[in-house]
Amino acid sequence: MSNFKLTIDKNFNAWLEFDVKNKKVNILNEESLLNLEEKIEEIKKNKTIKSLIILSKKINNFIAGADIFEISEIKNREEGEKKLIYANNILKEIENLKIPTIAAINGSCLGGGMELALACNFRIVSDNKNTKLGQPEVNLGLIPGFGGTKRLPQTIGFKESIKMISTGKAISGKKALKIKLADYILNESHFKDELTKLLKKGLIKKKRKKDIIDKSPILQNLMTRIAIKTIRKKTKNQYPAPIEAVKLIKRTFFKSINKSLLDEKEVFLKLLKSPVSKNLIHLYMTQEHVKKKYKQNKDLELNETAVIGAGLMGSGIAWNLSYKNINVSLNDIDWKNICHGFQNINNIYKTLKRRKRWKQTEVINFMHKVNAVTNIKQIKNNDFIIEAVSEDILLKKNIFKEIEKNNEKSIIATNTSSLDIEEMSKVLKKPENFIGLHFFSPVNKMPLVEIIPNSKTSKETIEKTNALSQKLNKIPIIVKNCPGFLINRILIPYVNEAILNLEDGAEINEIDTLMKKFGMPIGPLALADEVGIDVGYKVAKVLEKGYGERMKVSKLFESIIKDENLRGRKSKKGFYDYSKNKKENNDIKETLKKNRIKKEHIHRDCLDRMLLIMVNEAARCLEEKIVGSPEELDLAMIMGTGFPPFRGGLCRYIDQRGIQNIVTRLELLESLYGIRFKPAKYLYEKIENESKIYN
């Protein structure tokens, strides 16, 4: 059975319908390309055919692109080159057909799919909100490889094509029409009928008029330089693909198609070889793996939800619920706190209003989803309650007892970063409905949540919590109950190690710059300031209590916490001074100068100390099965801490550097700095079995 079905109607229009078996979306894998080639041959032979329409049988999808799994399996340059040439030849065949060719796009049209559409004479889109056109290859560290860098600029001009290809962002059908990427837009519900009518009437090509940039190499030069500068700034120069894409478009803009395709192929193959692309593709597969594992079939039905505690976290969570149009009662003990909570929520909406050009009425409608409640007894008949009061286990326990009375059927989730879920579950009559749900701050920006069941949590509760998390556009990772759960257990030792580095003679800026160069969005000391030094300290103490010697809080951390003016950004002073422009806090430097004895090798070991302390703890988490798989661990680190995506995750980093290398280094660090670097058993086991973390 072919993935393509060809029918010729009475008006001699050939309808080529794409429908990849056993998949929700169409992809241009080896089989599809082969089938497509056969059909094009057939069409070429049939001289009666007057036009060719390529369309999809899938709902909301035209073509999702090339097969990323196949790309990841490419072993060497020759294999890659062969595949590229093969696909490009088919597209050329389509382009060279003597009859009008039409891509009928009702749904997402991305990557290779977009390039196929570009090889047609006409692109007809629908007004379906799922109709999105784009070249997202840069997200995988690649560029379009089926002629997209040539045909897209030819169609929509220099400026728009640079924007689309270098950002990887897809555009709507309406926008496509506006920039002349599409020739017609049709009503989604009558797409095929309208298309037939249009064919009868005859299609007219209204070619886009070239603008001044398309004609002037000087302006193109200028624009290229500006674009590259912007990209460098945005990606901190860690992602080569968008820059290569812009350069390529510039270089081939006035060249012939054949020469351009050769250039495109070279750049594509070069990028395909790069570790960034390899890691991003790996990350994509990781995401797919996790997505599949956490997939929900049932739709979660929620009438009423509640959030207890209107602080920064509570109001953030209430915002998230309201933004998904879920009724949420926000409870706090007094109206002043509620008022602050409402202000926080409103501020998030104000930003959204500006960005999305909403009217004020839209903000008001969302705000109405939040219901203010000061009397906790009025928190009743809910389906889902998230408690987010301050980290005080007694207070939390009392709240659970109180709300359990009037919310018999509700799931009760606690948002905690460090308290023991098992211990808390003991006060509930129905621990099966109780679960930990750890959001990260600020809730509106951080995409991760940790789900922490207790030993009695029911499967249904876990499933519903997973479903709610996804409804809130969060990526949930289920982790076992342990001090710090997954993220803080790995992240706090890293921050602590940064402070130890500082004690041992490294500079504040040096430490943060090292980690930023590694790819972290923000250095560990700046991170401590952002989170709040007191908040971090609290968790660090929990970890010290839970894991003993290896998580001992550094002396410097202990002395900083005594100074109430040093709380990080919120008190305007922490490791940095925020009173005017952000700069190193000289007071801390002065205190340090008096006490510290600069250790040897400090600059050499600084980076590895921070990295390997994380690596070692991650290995322990895998060993203790705190998290289900390295895929989940890597995704959690990327989404929860901003661990650089181009490195593919912490486990991926271990595999790439080599476990033996890491263990050797850890052993050395242990001898120099103490037992906390003693390599985890898990790492030795892997060496013994000669396996990697990812099999």
Partner 1 sequence: MNKKKNRIAVVSGIRTPFAKGDGPLKNIQADDLGALALKALMNESDSNKNEIDEIIIGNVAQPANSANIARVIALKAGFNKSIPAYTVHRNCASGMESISSAAYKLLNGDENKIIAGGTESMSNIPFLFKPKMKKFFEELFKAKTISQKLNCLRKFKLSNLMPIIGLVEGLTDPTCNLIMGLTAENIVNEFKISREEQDKYALESHQKAIKSREILKEEISPIPIMPDYKRILDQDHGPREEQTLSALQKLKPYFNRQTGSVTVGNACPISDGAAMLLLMTETEAKKEKKEVLGYINSFAYAGCEPRTMGLGPVFATQKLFKKTGFSINDMDLIEMNEAFAAQIIGNLRAFESKTFAKKHFDQSMAVGKIDEKKLNVNGGAIALGHPVGTSGTRLILTALKELKRRGKERALATLCVGGGQGAAFVVESN
Q: Using CB under 8 A, list all residues that contact partner 1.
A: 303-304, 327, 329, 335-336, 338-339, 342-343, 346, 360, 363-365, 367-369, 371-373, 375, 378, 380-381
At a CB cut-off of 8 Å and minimum separation 6, what does 220 contact? Answer: 158, 213, 250, 253
Give the closest residue to 56 by CA, choosing from 86, 36, 78. 36
C-alpha–C-alpha distance, residues 569 and 554, integer Å? 21
Q: How far is CA 327 from CA 330, 365, 414, in A?
A: 10, 11, 19
Shortest Å, Cβ 322 to partner 1: 10
- CB nearer to partner 1: pick between 11 and 343: 343
Which is nearer to partner 1, 296 or 365 (by Cβ)?
A: 365
- For 533, residues 6+ apart whose C-beta sits below 8 A from its C-beta are 560, 561, 566, 567, 568, 574
Decide: helix, strand or coil at residue 308. Answer: strand
* Closer to partner 1 by Cβ: residue 451 or 468: 468
Shortest Cβ 339–partner 1 spacing (Å): 5
State in angstroms the smallest separation of the CB of 382 from partner 1.
10
Residue 152's φ and ψ, nearest 5 degrees, are -65, -50
Contact residues for 519 (Cβ-Cβ < 8 A; gap 6+): 236, 238, 643, 644, 646, 647
Kindly tell me the burial class for residue 442, based on how many C-beta atoms sit within 10 Å of its own C-beta (0-12, 13-18, 19 or more). middle
> Nearer to partner 1 by C-beta: 16 or 345?
345
How far apart, in Å, do the first and last CA atoms of the chain sit?
34
> If we measure between CA atoms, which residue out of 234, 255, 113, 223 comes closest to residue 159?
223
In the complex, the smallest distance separating the C-beta of residue 365 from partner 1, rounded to whole angstroms, is 7
Cβ closest to partner 1, residue 411 vs residue 478? 411
> How far apart are CB 353 and partner 1 at their closest, in Å?
11
DSSP H or E run through 17 = strand 13-18
Q: Which is nearer to partner 1, 335 or 684 (CB)?
A: 335
Question: Catalytic site residue 340?
Answer: no
- For 592, the token pair is 């340090």
Nearer to partner 1, 376 or 687 (CB): 376
User: In angstroms, what is the minimal distance from the CB of 367 to partner 1?
Assistant: 7
Q: What is the DSSP letter of 531?
A: H
Residue 24 to residues 137, 628, 676, Cα–Cα distance (Å):
20, 27, 48
Instruction: Please say whether the beta carbons of 338 and 310 come within 8 A.
Output: yes
Nearest-5° angle of CA 111, CA 117, CA 121? Answer: 155
Q: How far is the CB of 308 from partner 1 (least distance, A)?
A: 14
Task: Name the DSSP letter for residue 121.
Answer: S
Nearer to partner 1, 304 or 504 (CB): 304
Measure the CA–CA gap between 643 and 470, rounded to whole angstroms. 21
Least distance in angstroms from the C-beta of 399 to partner 1: 17
Phi/psi for 605 (5° steps) reads -90, -15
Choice among 190, 368, 438, 603 that is catalytic: 438
Would you please indicate which residues are annotated as catalytic (active-site) residues? Answer: 438
